[in-house]
Copies of this chain bind each other. A is one copy, B any other.
Amino acid sequence: MTRATLRDVAAHAGVSYQTVSNVLNDHPSIRPTTRQRVLDAIRTLDYYPNQAAKALRESRVTTLCCAFYGHSASDISDPYRNLIQSAFVAQSNQSGYDMTTAFLSHGQPQSFQTLKSNFLQQRFAGALVVGSNLTSQEVQMFRDWKMPTVFFDHTVPALDMPSVTADYAQGMVQLVTHLAQQGRRRLALIIPKDDQGSTAAARRESFTQAAEQHGLAHQVVQGDWSYDSGKAAFEALHAGSFAPDAVLAGNDRMAAGALRAAHRLNVDVPGDVTISGFDDFEFALFTAPTLTTVHVPYGEMARKAVELLLTEISPGSSQAVQLSLPTQLIIRESA
């Protein structure tokens, strides 16, 4: 048995199939009795309009895409990716859109080609690009494709493309001030190094500035956002000569690694050294001591990003909005 089409419904209701279409699209000027007859036919035949035909005819799709840059598809535990993806899905579903996912990576121009291809094939209407160290050429590509795009966690001031990010500088200043007030004098930040215009850069730069403003000794050591790198970085600091009394991790995952290393090395936290994170993921409550961290409103950011994307997609699109949401220091036990 094959699926019912418009014509089947029309035949069943004894009208022409365009009338059925009119009923479906709430067109005015349809006699209530006809309307009812059509509705009944739809119900008894269990008719559902074919989405592909509709999309073809209207040349519009109700799917969005979130593209993660620099995140491996196979790291299915990445809390950052997972949280953001879920937030996007929740928000776009609420707006009547589906959401698919793609992965971009710097090394693979083909990943960009695939995304472009999927867009031009009309598989999705616009993309949320999540990634903090896209090159400006890469950003430029999106504009060239004329693909509605919102950059997430990556500001691109020069190119004025729509973006949503958080005020990392503010959070970092709050954190450093808090540490200074506690009498901490020697601050070390664990964070990725060689990426510009990224959230890492924002966090790093404001760290340095804030530390200097407070007259504190400071050092930056490298991590790659992972638990293991946080652990390794703390061990390196412990073995090194700088001897920090406050270790700031660039994200919660590295902070968890640092905490573990401290525990292993019998370093008291926060007695001997404070350890703090950045993100405020749920597991910041799971560590012992619980993690002092900077809350980043990812949920809210995702909501805004989807909103921005949808206005960008809609016909009378305005100019590029660049949003930055406030962060907030969350003081728990570790700092």
* A residues neighboring B (CB under 8 Å): 3, 46, 48-53, 55-56, 59, 61, 63, 73-74, 76-79, 81-83, 85-87, 89-90, 93-94, 98-103, 117, 120-123, 227, 256, 259-260, 263, 281-283, 285-288, 290, 298-299
Closest to A76 in B: B86
Copies assembled: 2
Tell me if A90 and B74 are in contact (CB < 8 A).
Answer: yes
Closest to A98 in B: B100
A259: B residues at CB distance < 8 A: 286, 288
Contact A286 B256 (CB under 8 A): yes
When the two chains form the complex, which single residue of B56, B76, B285 contacts A227, counting CB atoms closer than 8 Å?
Answer: B285
Which residues from chain B contact A82 at a C-beta distance below 8 Å? 79, 82-83, 85-86
Beyond the given A76-B86, A77-B282, A98-B101, please list 6 additional residue pairs across the A-B interface where CB-CB is below 8 A. Answer: A52-B52, A52-B122, A76-B298, A76-B299, A79-B282, A82-B85
Which of B53, B59, B101 is in CB contact (< 8 Å) with A99?
A: B101
Given A123-B51, A283-B286, A286-B256, A89-B77 contact (CB < 8 Å): no
Q: Indicate whether A287 sits within 8 Å of B287 (C-beta atoms), given known contacts A51-B121, A89-B101.
A: yes
Nearest-Cβ distance from residue A102 to partner chain B, whole angstroms: 7
User: Which B residues lie within 8 Å of A285 (CB)?
Assistant: 227, 256, 260
Distance, CA A52 to CA B55, complexed state (A): 6
- Which of B3, B100, B122, B299 meets A120, CB within 8 Å? B3
Given contacts A117-B48, A288-B259, contact A93 B85 (CB under 8 A): no
Partner of A286, one of B81, B121, B286: B286
Interface centre among A94, A102, A121 (most CB of B within 10 A): A121
A99 to B76, CA, bound (A): 15
Using A282-B227, A285-B256, A286-B286 as known contacts, say yes or no to A86 and B78 having CB atoms under 8 A apart.
yes
With A76-B299, A86-B82 known to touch, is A121 a contact of B256 (CB < 8 Å)? Answer: no
The answer for the CA separation of A53 and B54 in the assembled complex, in Å, is 10
What residues on B are CB-neighbors of A85 within 8 Å? 82, 85-86, 89
A122 to B263, CA, bound (A): 54
**Chain B, Cβ-Cβ closest to A228:** B285
B residues near A102, Cβ cutoff 8 Å: 93
Q: Which of B55, B74, B89, B256 contacts A283 (CB 8 A)?
A: B256
A146's nearest neighbour on chain B, judged by CB, is B1
Q: Which residues of the other chain, B, contact A122 by a CB distance below 8 angstroms? A: 50-52
Q: In the bound complex, do residue A77 and residue B73 qualify as a contact, i.e. CB atoms below 8 Å apart?
A: no
Closest to A81 in B: B86
A302 to chain B, nearest CB (A): 8
Q: Smallest CB–CB gap between A53 and chain B, Å? A: 5
Cα-based distance from A37 to B239 in the complex (angstroms) = 65
